[in-house]
Structure 1
């Protein structure tokens, strides 16, 4: 019986063509860009960029040279990337159960192994970048990153969830101050203001998702206090941070400090007194973010006054 057309073609092609599966097609440039974008979205880009920008402004305010300042900012960026990626990787099971389509890992648009590798690479890069700013400064920054990882691994589920934020933000000015001059620690009021600002950011950051977090079993301090308690804590801590920045430096309170105190007092009272329906909206969250932004500006201005001559 003569062979069919397909069989004859296979025989003519020879064993080299017929053996083995066809090679997998290479991903297109569009697919690679989409994958890179999904990976970037998995690192919590907004808070990561905000902390990195704050570090850059503080580096300039402290008077770091361009080379040292760029190295310090790169260290902060690497640390933030490692923290953001590890957070989403560790929360993968809970995010999938909650059907978080806004999370690339939970949505399946990026593989867990890719995020694990990215978090590990960023963490390994953070170590030499931090130590290049000086041994003491580097160890301080690595302590900040370790506190953030401790939050991801365990403390976010405990009543001490605020502690890593207080430590990491409180030590950030010290990292940049020590990078500028070894042995040069920032004054206690500046450290306290930064720690209060970071703790306020922790409570504010939980507000949009606090109900979903409680339903998923997350039992950090904001979830234990509830929306109303967390809103009051965020507003009060942001006001305390502004007060430390305004009243801490020696001498009379600056016009910017007086303005910040009035602004933060008004926003704090407004957020804390919001009616229940308004408290469940994003408006109080945005008000607390405005408070934190104002505090961050004064933090930079206060650090500029401490720059080495």
Structure 2
């Protein structure tokens, strides 16, 4: 008599596990983890306390989750038309409605978590999140598709700095480097999807350049971001600054070269350069405020 009940319970558990896994896959976990981890590192570098660092990280995590889920939910029809297997919504692992609900819940959590870090910190972070949503809902198909990435990445160091006691604004060069990294991340992220996007009518900035144009341009903002971080604070970059600058340039170029065969390498190079830049901040000891 108990066997059918256990079977039903097991089936329900499997369904819920599948939905949770589908939601995890639909949030764009790679970029979510990378951006959240880099922000946590910035918070520690800036000297935020443990509690504030946790709040900062939680706010960024919720914002990134909302953006990733919004992207997959809004693009569901386009992804299905392009036959992009491997996406949870396309594979029917999770429904579009469930992804929309997750996006809205994450966004609702992001608001109080952001303002818990301070009024201006919250405003700046939510501007970055709003820019990312604007990208998902409209700007990704226009020539201005790079702007939300630049705004979003520039907002992160400002958010961290404004969460410090006294709410100081970050140095201009850190915000500039963040914006440049955002442009590079946009180019690398879109590169593998250009053919499918074009087939469904998406013509953002990278699509207008074409795959070859994107691969050639990609190292420019990445290397420029590293140069700004190494040189703009004043004084010689030092041994570690020079090494980091050379490493960032080499990684960016390698991503471009290997991207001809393995297109995801281009985005991986953008993430790697961002990691090098965080290491450069630590080595320089300048902080971000």
Q: What's the TM-score, normalizing by structure 2?
A: 0.90
SS of the aligned residue for 2:163 comes to helix
Shift in alpha-carbon separation, 1:44–1:300, aligned structure 2, 3 A:
farther
Across the aligned residues of Structure 1 and Structure 2, the Cα RMSD in angstroms comes to 2.0
Which has the larger Rg? 1
Query: What is the CA–CA distance in structure 1 between the aligned matches of 2:37 and 2:105, rounded to whole Å?
Result: 21
Q: Measure how far apart 1:260 and its partner are.
A: 2.1
Query: What is the CA–CA distance in structure 1 between the aligned matches of 2:109 and 2:277, rounded to whole Å?
Result: 30
Instruction: Kindly tell me the number of residue pairs found equivalent between the two proteins.
Output: 280
CA contact (8 A) 1:162 1:202 kept: yes
* Runs of 4+ deviating beyond 4 Å: 267-272, 286-289, 299-302
Superposed CA offset, 1:3-60 (max 9, x none): xxxxxxxxxxxxxxxxxxxxxx555323322211111111101101111101111111
Query: What is the CA–CA distance in structure 1 between the aligned matches of 2:125 and 2:270, rounded to whole Å?
Result: 26
Query: What is the CA–CA distance in structure 2 between the aligned matches of 1:213 and 1:137, rounded to whole Å?
Result: 35
Of the candidates 211, 214, 232, which is equivalent to residue 216 of structure 2?
232
CA contact (8 A) 1:105 1:111 kept: yes
1:145 aligns with 2:129: yes
Shift in alpha-carbon separation, 1:59–1:269, aligned structure 2, 3 A:
closer
Shift in alpha-carbon separation, 1:247–1:131, aligned structure 2, 3 A:
same
Q: Give matches, 1:214-229, under 5 Å.
A: 214-229=198-213
Shift in alpha-carbon separation, 1:125–1:260, aligned structure 2, 3 A:
same
1:73 aligns with 2:57: yes
Q: Measure how far apart 1:284 and its partner are.
A: 5.3
Shift in alpha-carbon separation, 1:251–1:139, aligned structure 2, 3 A:
same
Of the candidates 98, 103, 106, which is equivalent to residue 114 of structure 1?
98
Structure 2 residue runs of 5 or longer lacking an equivalent are 1-7
- Aligned residue for 2:277? 295
CA contact (8 A) 2:73 2:89 kept: yes
Of the candidates 49, 54, 61, which is equivalent to residue 33 of structure 2?
49
- Aligned residue for 2:5? none
1:253 aligns with 2:237: yes
